[in-house]
Amino acid sequence: MVFFYKVNKRLPDYLKNEILRIKTKKNISETSQIIREKELNTVCSSSRCPNLNLCFSNKTATFLLLGDKCTRRCPFCNIGYIKENPCVDLLEPQKVAYAVKSLNLKHTVITMVTRDDIEDGGADIIVKTVKRIKKDTNCKIIEVLTSDFNGNEKYIMDVVDSGIDIFGHNIETVERLYETNRPSGSYRRSLNILKTVKEKRPHIITKSGIMVGLGENDGEVFETIDDLINTGIDFITIGQYLRPSLQNVEVQRFVPLKKFIEYKDYAKKGGIKNVFSAPLVRSSFGAEKLFKHSL
């Protein structure tokens, strides 16, 4: 992950040391081979996640469905942009199930690119993938991290009712920064999605993630946590934004380690079951561990 040092020249020592430690992780070839064999995408690779070596060495990966190009252009994200993509791999459910079985995953995380060019936003592929995993593997827990489906409740609930255990949808940043950093999204729409899922299916665990370092202040982070608490959410992840390339928005601040502890304590006091809050935490980072901690 050399790009982090080239792009983030002000990277604090604690972050440099942690990224170097993860980079030295080996034994990632088996996971990589299975993913290449079935021509699958992972958010680990597409988003240039700093935790890739750590997760792959532990034979885990977050599967990225519906291609590796997104129909939205968020300036913080490294996933490629395309206005429309006629390609949908109808064999993706079988391929992902094969990978889950080969890696003997007991907790599988599935995410997706946003596909505004498809009528259902890609919900059908997500549903079929979940059902195929349940049919073909011994996976115990299935977690999805979805787009907002433009707020279409039917497609959202189709995914929720497919047999998942955890429904994730990221708020990503504070409301003030949506116009510049998530221009095609809606802060209130995302909150409403999480609230609707919890109200309609209270047995489903709900989860969301926040990035810090995009220009927000601490007060806005606490306000965002409050908004998430009001949706009835179960899990929150909070991590430091790291600029994946020169084409992405710059880091505005590196949040001190003690602040991540403050964020966690605040969320826990507000009633959140479990919180992962640390610089290199990402949406699906330690997903199985986070789930087990809630039991």
pLDDT beyond 70 at 293: no
The better pLDDT of the pair 36, 269 is held by 269
CA distance linking residue 95 with residue 44, whole number of Å: 17
Q: Determine what percent of the chain is predicted with pLDDT higher than 90.
A: 66
pLDDT at 290: 58
CA-based max dimension of the chain: 48
CA distance linking residue 231 with residue 198, whole number of Å: 7
CA distance linking residue 269 with residue 264, whole number of Å: 9
For the stretch 85-88, contacts whose Cβ atoms lie closer than 8 Å and that sit 24 or more positions apart, written own/partner, are 85/115, 85/117, 88/118, 88/122, 88/125
* Paired tokens of 71: 């129909």
Q: What is the pLDDT of residues 206-229, one digit of tens each?
A: 999 999 999 999 999 999 999 999
Sign, CA dihedral 7-13-16-18, equals negative
Closest by alpha carbon to 193, among 149, 144, 237? 149
pLDDT beyond 80 at 230: yes
Q: How many CB atoms lie within 10 A of CB 78?
A: 17
DSSP 93-116: HHHHHHHHHHTT-SEEEEEE---T
* Paired tokens of 112: 């997706």
CATH superfamily of 3-294: Aldolase class I (3.20.20.70)
CA distance linking residue 113 with residue 122, whole number of Å: 9
pLDDT at 16: 76
* Paired tokens of 76: 């913080």
Contact 198, 229 (CB under 8 A): no
Rounded to an integer, the average pLDDT of 10-28 is 72
DSSP 40-96: -EEHHHHTT-TTHHHHHHTT--EEEES-SEESS--TT--SEE-S------TTHHHHH
pLDDT at 17: 74
Domain boundaries along the sequence of the chain = 3-294
Rounded to an integer, the average pLDDT of 24-47 is 75
H or E segment and range at residue 132: helix 123-136
Residue labelled with tokens 């992972």: 42
Sign, CA dihedral 139-148-240-251, equals positive
CA distance linking residue 253 with residue 109, whole number of Å: 29
Rounded to an integer, the average pLDDT of 102-121 is 93
pLDDT at 7: 42
286: pLDDT confidence band, cut at 50, 70 and 90?
low
* Torsion on CA atoms 94, 96, 102, 103, rounded to nearest 10: -160
pLDDT at 294: 54
Q: What is the pLDDT of residues 148-168, one digit of tens each?
A: 999 999 999 999 999 999 999
pTM score:
0.90
